Amino acid sequence: MAGGFDPSKDKVLQSWRSEETGLVVAIHSYDGGEAKLQIGPRMLKKKDGSDRAPVKAGRLTIEDVQWIYDNIDDIKDGLEEHNNPMD
């Protein structure tokens, strides 16, 4: 089989979720490679409070940007930690 994306090799190392907008920011590593940041998807809530199926993040609102700004130090620290585990 030709090479391609294999979901079983994609590992979520750490994630954050905005309760207000449902935006998810996560650190992923593919096949043991460098840890990288992914913005999205959105995990929106149903009326009963359960999660809907994930949707693309799309364009970011000012609320999304503010949430990322408020959490950027934790996100950056997590990314550094996963890329430099011995430091």
| pLDDT tens, position by position, 11-55 | 999 999 999 999 999 999 999 999 999 999 999 888 898 889 999
Alpha-carbon distances of 78 from 14, 56, 66, rounded to whole Å: 7, 23, 19
Amino acid at the residue 17: R
Is residue 17 a part of any domain in this protein? yes
3: in domain = no
**16 lies in which domain range?**
10-82
Residue 19 located in a structural domain: yes
In a domain, 5, yes or no: no
Dist CA 25 CA 41 (whole Å): 8
Query: pLDDT-based confidence at 2, cuts 50/70/90?
Result: low
The answer to whether position 70 is within a domain reads: yes
- What's the pLDDT at 84? 87
Residue 70 tokens, joined: 């408020």
Give pLDDT, residue 87.
54
The answer to whether residue 50 sits within a structural domain is yes
Tell me the average pLDDT across 59-76.
97
Query: In this structure, is residue 1 part of a structural domain?
Result: no
> How many structural domains are present in the chain?
1
- Smallest Cα–Cα separation from 61: which of 32, 39, 78? 39
Residue 7 has pLDDT above 70, yes or no: yes
pLDDT for 12: 96
